[in-house]
Amino acid sequence: MDPLKILAVEPFYGGSHGSFVDGLIRHSSHKIELLHSAAYRWKWRYASSAFRFHQEIKSKLAGVNLFFCSNVFDLFSAMTLVPELRDIAKVVYFHENQATYPVQTGKKRDMHYVLQDLKTIFAADLALFNSSWNMKSLQDNSRMLLDRFPDKGIDLDSLLQGNTALKVQPLGIDLQSLLTYKKEIAPAVPTLLWNHRWEYDKNPALLYKGLCSLQKEKVAFKLIVCGEQKKKYPDVLDQIKREFEDEIVSWGELSRADYTKALQTADISLSTSDHEFFGISVCEAIAAGCVPLLPNRLSYPELLPGDLHAELLYSADSDFFSKLKGLVKSFASGEPQQFKLREEWKHSLRKKVATYDWSVQAKQFDLVLSESYRKRKTAGSCE
């Protein structure tokens, strides 16, 4: 099949949304033109994206085989403003969903955005999700929402049947330079890495408690804390910086080059998150040769080989403290058997996350998009 001509829209062009669509354009064999707006005020992007882009879309649809957008784009409304969209294949990519996204303490979930997610799905031929957790959590929570409607008996599966296909399609990440890096023998004092957005949903308070537990038991470690830094962030991060000043190797938001160096310096990567739909930062750390310690929930179990779940996933705070201490002591022990076991883990972990590299995922996306176009064309609606 010849390359498709694809028109893509990303109203929230930044962070993982921006890097994903840039990677897709760079690595895909299809010809993709992108319309985008800056990544801020996400609620306004959700609510107004169809109005913002409808004229540009209408002016660029000639000869387009497939329309591609993220979940932030209001595809349902756009099809009213641009009726021509009804006649071409439409694929939406869900980086997150509003039925599951954590709500700030003291605030209620705005169900209008959950309904918009659902309407966007119904408007598309195919809805792709970056993880099974993302897809299943939207389905489960949407069913509970529909059950609350005054008119009972609205069935999500019946609404989807014959209209929109749902599929898990992990996003692509540029991992090659990290996967080819070979770490030197681990030092006597291992380095811990926490590389996440500086926000409450990443739960840095648990990181602080874990570090305190190591300090209390006189377990030596070094520390790197990095990631996207907001103007307003949890106070506990400042507390970590004050109380563990002697252990800190690197702190704060880093350039790409310095971030790569931090990944390659670290030995153990930690996540304490209450929210995650995929886990790019975890994949990057694993690709660089880190051993991860992750929550046994959300999308995290999907990132690890099943035979390592018992060792590298934790279910409660006490489990986190215990496994963290065990990992740090294992690195510090210098025992050849422990070193060999860790190297086997790293090989298995890197093999798993290598499947998310664009060298693999670009081909998967190309096949999925081509198949969506083919199905619509077979149905007699594509030019």
* Residue-wise pLDDT tens digits, 253-288: 999 999 999 999 999 999 999 999 999 999 999 999
User: What are the sequence ranges of the domains in the chain?
Assistant: 5-172+358-378, 176-356
CA distance 260 to 176: 12
If phi > 0 it is left, if psi is from -120 to 50 it is alpha, else beta; for residue 333 that is alpha
Residue 163 confidence (pLDDT) above 80: no
> What pLDDT does 379 receive?
80
Residue 227: the pLDDT is 94
What is the pLDDT at residue 107? 79
Single-letter amino acid, residue 233? Y
Residue 186 has pLDDT above 90, yes or no: no
| Mean pLDDT on 70-96 | 97
| Residues with Cβ within 8 Å of residue 146, at least 6 apart in sequence | 154, 155, 156
b/e per residue, 60-79, with b = 16+ CB within 10 A? ebeebbbbbbbbbbbbbbbb
Judged by DSSP in three states, 42 sits in: helix
**Confidence band of 380 (pLDDT split at 50, 70, 90):** low
16-60 pLDDT per residue, tens? 999 999 999 999 999 999 999 999 898 999 999 999 999 999 999
Residue with tokens 């992990």, as numbered in its chain? 170
Q: What percent of the chain has pLDDT over 90?
A: 80
> 338 Cβ partners below 8 Å, 6+ apart?
330, 331
CATH superfamily ID and name for 5-172+358-378: Glycogen Phosphorylase B; (3.40.50.2000)
* Pick from 220, 209, 214: nearest CA to 246: 220
In tens, the pLDDT along 307-353 reads 999 999 999 999 999 999 999 999 998 888 888 999 999 999 999 99
Cα–Cα nearest to 71, from 28, 25, 118? 118
Q: What is the CATH number of domain 176-356?
A: 3.40.50.2000
Kindly report the CA angle at 351 between 349 and 357, in degrees rounded to 5? 110
Of 130-134, 238-242, 286-290, 376-380, the one with minimum mean pLDDT is: 376-380
Is residue 153's pLDDT more than 70? no
The pLDDT-based confidence of 149 (bands split at 50, 70, 90) is confident
pLDDT of 382 strictly over 60: no
Segment (H or E) for 233: none
